[in-house]
C-alpha cells in the first residue's frame, strides 16, 4: 500500500474512487427504484458528444461532457413528459444520437486515441484539476440526496401518489435525471463512460439482496460502491489493467456473494419459528413486506381519500418504514 501511495496520481485516483463509490450508488438507488436502470448507460453515451466537443475545440472534455449530459437529461425528461413515446424510447433516441455525435466529433479531431481513457477509465491521466471538479460535483450530488432524499424516494415509489401529496413531480423528475448526468461525469475518468452505469446499478442490486429497508439499501450500496471502486483501482494498478472493467468485475463479484448470502438469510428467516404476537409482515429485502409493496398499498389507500393532506399522511407513514 505504501508503494501505491508514493505515486501522486494514485493518491488522486484513490480519492476519486472513494467519491465515485459514494455518489454513483447513492443516486443509483433512486434510479433502480424508478425502474430506469439504463439511464446511466444512456447518459454515458450522450456524454461522448461532450467529450468529442471538448477534444475538438481544445477545451475541457469534462466540462463539455457536463454541459451536454445535463442538456441531454433535460431532453430525456422533456420527451418523456411531452411526447407520446415512453421514457425508454426517449432514452434510446438520445442514446443513439449521443453515440453518433461523439463518434463524428472525435473523428473530426486529430489524435482520437485520447477518447480511450474516457471510454474505460484511466488512472494515470487524472490530475489535481480533475479531482477538484469531481469533488465539487460529488458534494453537490450528495447534498441533493440529503436534502431531497425523502421526496425523491416518494416520487420513485409512486409518482401519482407524490403528485397527490403536492410534491413538485416535474422538478423532482428533472432533478433525478440531472443528478444522474452529473454522476456520470464524476465517474467517467475512473470507470469510463461505457461502464459507469454498472457502478450506479450493481452495488444497489447487491445491497437489495441483504438489506431490509430503503435507507439500509442505499447505505449498503454506498459501502459496496466504495469497496468495489477502491479494490478495482488497486487491482488495476497492481496488474496493469484498465480501472473501469476491474471496478465493475469486483462489483459483480460482490453481487454474486450477496445473492448467495441473501438466499441463506431468507431461508433462515423462513425456517425460524414466528413468536406469538410477532410481526408476520416484517419487511423483507429492499423494504417490501410479505404481502407486497407497502407504498403501493399506501398509494391505493391514499388515492381514495378526500385530499392531499390525507395522502401525505399515508406517504409519510410508509416513508418512515422504508426510509429508515
Return the pLDDT at 284: 44
Domains: count for the chain: 1
Q: 165-176 as b/e, with b when 16 or more CB fall inside 10 Å?
A: bebebeebbbbb
320 lies in a domain?
A: no
213 lies in a domain?
A: no
> In angstroms, rounded to a whole number, what is the distance separating the alpha carbons of residues 225 and 254?
10
Q: What is the DSSP letter of 289?
A: B
Return the pLDDT at 224: 96
Task: Say which residue the cell 392531499 belongs to.
Answer: 308
124 lies in a domain?
A: yes
265 lies in a domain?
A: no
134 lies in a domain?
A: yes
261 lies in a domain?
A: no
3-class SS of residue 25? helix
Element (H, E) at 322: helix 308-323
> In angstroms, rounded to a whole number, what is the distance separating the alpha carbons of residues 26 and 215?
10
Please spell the DSSP secondary structure of 247-287, one letter per residue. HHHHHHHHHHHHHHHHHHHHHHHHHSPPPTT--TT---GGG
Q: What is the CATH number of the domain that holds 166?
A: 1.10.3470.10
pLDDT tens digits, the chain, 324 residues: what are they? 667 778 888 889 899 999 999 999 999 999 999 888 888 888 988 898 998 888 888 888 888 899 999 998 888 888 777 766 666 777 777 888 888 888 788 777 655 546 777 888 877 777 888 889 889 999 999 999 999 999 999 998 888 888 998 999 999 999 999 999 999 988 887 788 888 889 999 999 999 999 988 999 999 999 999 999 999 999 988 888 888 899 999 999 999 999 999 999 888 888 877 665 554 444 444 443 333 444 444 444 444 444 455 555 545 544 554 444
Please spell the DSSP secondary structure of 210-250, one letter per residue. H--SHHHHHHHHHHHHHHHHHHHHHHHHHHT--HHHHHHHH
230 lies in a domain?
A: no
Return the pLDDT at 157: 87
Task: Say which residue the cell 413515446 belongs to.
Answer: 85
282 exposed, middle or buried (CB, 10 Å; 0-12, 13-18, 19+)? Answer: exposed
Range of the domain at 152: 2-197
> In angstroms, rounded to a whole number, what is the distance separating the alpha carbons of residues 176 and 33?
12
Task: Identify any residues that bridge with 292 across adjacent strands, giving them in sequence order.
Answer: 289
> In angstroms, rounded to a whole number, what is the distance separating the alpha carbons of residues 254 and 261?
10
Amino acid at each position: 500500500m505504501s508503494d501505491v501511495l508514493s505515486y501522486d496520481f494514485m493518491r488522486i485516483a484513490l480519492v476519486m474512487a472513494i467519491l465515485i463509490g459514494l455518489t454513483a450508488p447513492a443516486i443509483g438507488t433512486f434510479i433502480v427504484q424508478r425502474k430506469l436502470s439504463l439511464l446511466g448507460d444512456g447518459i454515458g453515451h450522450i456524454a461522448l458528444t461532450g467529450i468529442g466537443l471538448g477534444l475538438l475545440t481544445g477545451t475541457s472534455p469534462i466540462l463539455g461532457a457536463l454541459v451536454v449530459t445535463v442538456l441531454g437529461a433535460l431532453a430525456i425528461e422533456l420527451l418523456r413528459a411531452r411526447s407520446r413515446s415512453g421514457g425508454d424510447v426517449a432514452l434510446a433516441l438520445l442514446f443513439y444520437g449521443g453515440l453518433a455525435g461523439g463518434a463524428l466529433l472525435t473523428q473530426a479531431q486529430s489524435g482520437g486515441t485520447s477518447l480511450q481513457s474516457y471510454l474505460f477509465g484511466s488512472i494515470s491521466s487524472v490530475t489535481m484539476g480533475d479531482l477538484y471538479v469531481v469533488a465539487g460535483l460529488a458534494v453537490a450530488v450528495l447534498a441533493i440526496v440529503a436534502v431531497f432524499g425523502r421526496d425523491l424516494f416518494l416520487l420513485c415509489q409512486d409518482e401519482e401518489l407524490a403528485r397527490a401529496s403536492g410534491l413538485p413531480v416535474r422538478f423532482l423528475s428533472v432533478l433525478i435525471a440531472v443528478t444522474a448526468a452529473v454522476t456520470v461525469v464524476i465517474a467517467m475518468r475512473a470507470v469510463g463512460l461505457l461502464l459507469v452505469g454498472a457502478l450506479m446499478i450493481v452495488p444497489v442490486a447487491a445491497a437489495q439482496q441483504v438489506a431490509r429497508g430503503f435507507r439500509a439499501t442505499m447505505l449498503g450500496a454506498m459501502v459496496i460502491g466504495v469497496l468495489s471502486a477502491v479494490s478495482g483501482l488497486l487491482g488495476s494498478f497492481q496488474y496493469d489493467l484498465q480501472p473501469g472493467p476491474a471496478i465493475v468485475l469486483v462489483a459483480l463479484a460482490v453481487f454474486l456473494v450477496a445473492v448467495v448470502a441473501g438466499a441463506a438469510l431468507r431461508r433462515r428467516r423462513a425456517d425460524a419459528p414466528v413468536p406469538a404476537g410477532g410481526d408476520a409482515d416484517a419487511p423483507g429485502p429492499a423494504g417490501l413486506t410479505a404481502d407486497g409493496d407497502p407504498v403501493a398499498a399506501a398509494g391505493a389507500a391514499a388515492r381514495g381519500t378526500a385530499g392531499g393532506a390525507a395522502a401525505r399522511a399515508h406517504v409519510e407513514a410508509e416513508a418512515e418504514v422504508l426510509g429508515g
